[in-house]
Amino acid sequence: MPWKGEKDPYKIWLSEIILQQTRVEQGMEYYNRFVQHFPTVKDLANAPEQKVFKLWEGLGYYTRCKNLIATAKIISNELNGIFPDNYEAIKSLKGIGPYTASAIASFAFNLPYAVLDGNVFRILSRYFGLSTAIDNGEGKKMYAQIAEALLPVKTPGEYNQAIMDFGATICKPKQPLCISCVQNKDCEAYKYGWINDLPVKEKVLQKKTRWLTYFLVEVDEKIYIRQRTASDIWQNLYEFIVRETNGPEYFTEDALRLVVKEMIAVKTFEIKFISDVIRQQLTHQTLNARFIIVKLKKPATALRDFQLIEKTHLYQYAFPKLIVQFLEQNVIKQSLF
Number of other residues whose CB lies within 10 A of the CB of residue 283 = 9
Active-site annotation holds for 78:
no
Residues 62-89, buried b or exposed e (16+ Cβ, 10 A)?
bebbbebbebbbbbbeeeeeebbeebee
Residue 222 one-letter amino acid: K
Residues 6+ apart with CB under 8 A from 238: 225, 226, 227, 228, 317, 318, 319
Q: What angle do CA 157, 163, 166 make, to 5 degrees?
A: 135
Which listed residue (6, 16, 29, 270) is catalytic? 16
CA atoms within 13 A on the CB side of 36: 8
Residue 284 one-letter amino acid: H
Number of other residues whose CB lies within 10 A of the CB of residue 20 = 15
- Cβ distance 60 to 282 under 8 Å? yes
* 244: β partners: 212
Please list the active-site residues: 16
